[in-house]
Amino acid sequence: MSRFRYCALYCALVCCLSSIALVLAGCGGSSSSTPPPSSFQLSIQAAGAGGGTISSNPAGINCGPTCSASFTSGSQVTLTETAGTNSSFGGWAGGGCSGNSPTCELTINKSQQVVATFDSSQNITALNHIIILIQENRSFDHYFGAMRQYWANNGIPDQSFDGLAQFNPPTGDAPLRGPAPTIPGCDPAFPFPGNDCTVTSNSPPIAPFHMTSMCIENPSPSWNEDHVDWNLTNPVSATAALNGFVFTAGHDARNQQPPFSDTNGIRAMAYYDGEDLPFYYFMASSFGTSDRWFSPAMANSPPNHMYALAGTSMGHAYGASGLTSPTIFDLLQSAGVTWRVYVTDLTYAVPPLNDGYVNEFAIAAKHPQNFVPVSQFLSDSKNGTLPAVSWIDAGLNTGLDEHPGLDDGAPGGSVQVGSQYVSTLINGLMQSTSWHDSVFILTFDEMGGFYDHVPPQPEVSPDGIKPMDLLQGPPPNGPDICVINNGVLKTGPNCDFVYSGYRVPLLVISPFSKKNYVSHTFADYSAWLKLVETRFNLPSLTLRDAAQMDMTEFFDFTNVPWKTPPVPPVQPTGGQCYLTHLP
């Protein structure tokens, strides 16, 4: 074969192989070839605690509703962000987009995903509904003293929390584990009947104990008793010995007609735990609480509720009615801010008003239309018709207020029945359309005579008014311990409204509540007034509420912790309920 013919044959073979290669590469139009894409998918993802929209030019992306679209290969697409209310744009990422310019231009030559981050610029104005419920007569140690043991049992990270010392961990954040506190009890050498509770050097030490019954006889928390609790031997001393709780409960039991069962007063040292109150313990561990949250006055329920409504008791150490002092509702009414009182026991009231604490003030008679059944709270939450400020009046007649003692001669005030009722209100809010901009504050009006190991704290006098109803004393006991025999008010530091009351439990429940947050900032619960005043730009009612924190430390308005609320445990109600013996 000549060299020429060999070369021609070789060239033909090469050309043939090249043609085959082109076909296999998709260049020869074979039916098995894949054409180049004519369009690509562009997807947008919104991130961050804020909100906003992203649109595209050419049209296609309209995110929220439409966050992905196809664009012709080679298209020039411009994305534009628009931050939502109380939000700011944090920047672009992915797909060739970067920086925080409001727009990003893309060349569509492949499928791409772009992330647009919106930051929350919210502040207290994000709270459009402030709700408060004040239950009755439970101290901090009595309800929450075992909290750190609950954390240990349930794998919840520990942090500083000043409960009962025996439940603190041996290492970690102070305060650490120590012996259970004790205070002197009634000397058995002076038995009942025939003797009052008598405390001597032979008195047995009484330590906190777990109460088995969900009902308990009422220790007295009135002005006299609160001061004896402060210091048994010198109630008007500047020294808080916190050693009179058992004596006052025993004295009160022996002087009742008929006498209480617990004539030795040890019920004052009882506590409940997370097994008894799983809903409260879970909510305190999920949302915000405080170990420095106090009632406003060393007195019983009526004066403390006056502080909750008006920032002062107007000099009353005991109950009063026909009060003309302005309340938080007067301020709201004048400012055109909506408010409503949801009444648990409206069926027991004299229409059209309730028989709760708000009715002691003139504002109630002026606006009876603002008092509605508590069932409307749940419907208003569901329908988005909650007012700006809601006061839930506790179940004073039906035993739903957690007040210890008797209801119509039968054991009442079950801590489980009361807390289960509260859970229906909170769960209803969390599952409603109103959740996203609400806060539910739960607290207790005073400590109820139950032991707490942290003393009341110095406070500013709300208005300079001295106690005006001590000279007569609470009938039938005669003059108060703050009164000298000649009818002159003593000058002891706690014989005026310049001390808080004792610590009480607190829950701050909101989508904005910091998770498992414990405040250590001193406040009495007139701080809720400061929160309302701050949110709605209202003046202070008195010097007392003006001096409180505004409660914003409980919230994270930027990274909203609880957009989706947790699912709390069901609060049981079947615990034993008796008053005839302890524990």
Is 130 found in the same domain as 116? Answer: no
Is 130 found in the same domain as 92? Answer: no
Which one, of 454, 472, 87, 10, lies nearest residue 240 by Cα? 454
- 25: pLDDT confidence band, cut at 50, 70 and 90? very low
Alpha-carbon separation of residue 317 from 264, 310, 460, 469, 480 (angstroms): 27, 15, 16, 6, 10
pLDDT of residue 2: 43
Beta-strand pair 76-83/103-107: antiparallel
Beta-strand pair 406-407/410-411: antiparallel
Coarse DSSP helix, strand, coil percentages of the chain, rounded to the nearest 5 percent: 25, 20, 55
Q: In this structure, is residue 538 part of a structural domain?
A: yes
pLDDT of residue 458: 96
3-state secondary structure at position 444:
strand
Judged against a pLDDT cut of 70, whether residue 488 lies above it is answered with: yes
Is 282 found in the same domain as 406? Answer: yes
Is 224 found in the same domain as 81? Answer: no
Judged against a pLDDT cut of 60, whether residue 12 lies above it is answered with: no
Better pLDDT: 286 or 364: 286
pLDDT of residue 472: 60
- 90: pLDDT confidence band, cut at 50, 70 and 90? confident
d(CA 298, CA 249): 16
Look up residue 82 and give its DSSP letter.
Answer: E
pLDDT of residue 410: 56
Q: In this structure, is residue 78 part of a structural domain?
A: yes
pLDDT of residue 261: 95
Q: In this structure, is residue 18 part of a structural domain?
A: no
Q: What sections of 256-396 are H helices per DSSP?
A: 278-286, 301-310, 328-335, 362-366, 375-383
CB-based contact 130:531 (threshold 8 Å): yes
pLDDT of residue 3: 42
Average pLDDT on 220-225 reads: 92
- 398: pLDDT confidence band, cut at 50, 70 and 90? confident
Residue that terminates a domain, selected from 65, 88, 121: 121
Q: In this structure, is residue 454 part of a structural domain?
A: yes
Q: Which residues make Cβ contacts (< 8 Å) with residue 491, sequence separation at least 6?
A: none
Judged against a pLDDT cut of 50, whether residue 81 lies above it is answered with: yes
pLDDT of residue 253: 95
What mean pLDDT, rounded, does the chain reach?
Answer: 89
Alpha-carbon separation of residue 173 from 271, 308, 555 (angstroms): 23, 33, 23
Residue with tokens 């804020």: 50
pLDDT of residue 347: 66
Judged against a pLDDT cut of 50, whether residue 31 lies above it is answered with: no
Residue that terminates a domain, selected from 92, 121, 150: 121
Is 513 found in the same domain as 424? Answer: yes
Is 136 found in the same domain as 110? Answer: no
Better pLDDT: 37 or 73: 73
Is 199 found in the same domain as 57? Answer: no
Q: In this structure, is residue 567 part of a structural domain?
A: no
- Amino acid 14 reads V
Which phi and psi angles does 392 have, rounded to 5°?
-100, 115
In the chain, the percentage of residues whose pLDDT exceeds 70 is 88
d(CA 51, CA 68): 18
Average pLDDT on 132-159 reads: 97
Better pLDDT: 267 or 482: 267
d(CA 554, CA 209): 31
Query: Terminal CA-to-CA distance of the chain, rounded, Å?
Result: 118
Which one, of 251, 245, 238, lies nearest residue 182 by Cα? 245
Low-confidence winner among 243-247, 356-360, 421-425, 502-506 (lowest mean pLDDT): 356-360
Burial of 497 (0-12, 13-18, 19+ CB in 10 A): buried
Low-confidence winner among 112-126, 326-340, 349-363, 371-385 (lowest mean pLDDT): 349-363
pLDDT digits (tens, 9 = 90+) for 418-453: 999 999 999 999 999 999 999 999 999 999 999 999
- 99: pLDDT confidence band, cut at 50, 70 and 90? confident
Judged against a pLDDT cut of 50, whether residue 522 lies above it is answered with: yes
Q: In this structure, is residue 31 part of a structural domain?
A: no
Is 352 found in the same domain as 484? Answer: yes
In the chain, the percentage of residues whose pLDDT exceeds 90 is 73
Q: In this structure, is residue 533 part of a structural domain?
A: yes
- 36: pLDDT confidence band, cut at 50, 70 and 90? low
CB-based contact 516:283 (threshold 8 Å): no
What is the torsional sign of CA 461, 462, 464, 468?
Answer: negative
Burial of 539 (0-12, 13-18, 19+ CB in 10 A): exposed
Average pLDDT on 215-227 reads: 93
pLDDT of residue 1: 44
Better pLDDT: 336 or 470: 336
Average pLDDT on 49-57 reads: 87
Average pLDDT on 116-128 reads: 84
pLDDT of residue 465: 93
Is 265 found in the same domain as 319? Answer: yes
Which helix (H) or strand (E) is 140 found in, with range? Answer: helix 140-144
CATH of the domain at 155: 3.40.720.10
- 28: pLDDT confidence band, cut at 50, 70 and 90? very low
Beta-strand pair 438-444/506-509: antiparallel
CATH of the domain at 68: 3.10.20
- Please report how the helices 245-255 and 223-230 are oriented relative to each other, as an axis angle in degrees rounded to 10: 140
d(CA 488, CA 255): 27
Low-confidence winner among 185-194, 276-285, 364-373 (lowest mean pLDDT): 364-373
Tell me: cis bond preceding 193? Omega within 30 of 0 counts: yes
How many residues does this entry show for the chain?
Answer: 583
Edge-to-edge strand order for the sheet containing 52-57? Answer: 62-63, 52-57, 76-83, 103-107
Tell me: cis bond preceding 58? Omega within 30 of 0 counts: yes
Better pLDDT: 359 or 447: 447
CA angle at residue 512 from 525 to 65, to 5 degrees?
150
Which phi and psi angles does 501 have, rounded to 5°?
-85, -160
Residue that terminates a domain, selected from 62, 93, 121: 121
CB-based contact 169:177 (threshold 8 Å): yes
Q: In this structure, is residue 13 part of a structural domain?
A: no
Judged against a pLDDT cut of 80, whether residue 275 lies above it is answered with: yes
Is 132 found in the same domain as 48? Answer: no
* Total tally of structural domains belonging to the chain: 2
Judged against a pLDDT cut of 60, whether residue 47 lies above it is answered with: yes
Average pLDDT on 304-315 reads: 96
Alpha-carbon separation of residue 517 from 46, 87, 219, 263 (angstroms): 28, 24, 31, 39
Instruction: Give residue 71's domain range.
Output: 39-121
CB-based contact 435:517 (threshold 8 Å): no
Average pLDDT on 6-34 reads: 40
pLDDT of residue 23: 36
Better pLDDT: 64 or 474: 64
Beta-strand pair 371-373/339-343: parallel
- 19: pLDDT confidence band, cut at 50, 70 and 90? very low
CB-based contact 247:167 (threshold 8 Å): no
Is 460 found in the same domain as 312? Answer: yes
Is 498 found in the same domain as 517? Answer: yes
What DSSP letter does each residue of 90-114 carry, written as one string? EEEEETTEEES-SEEEEE-SS-EEE
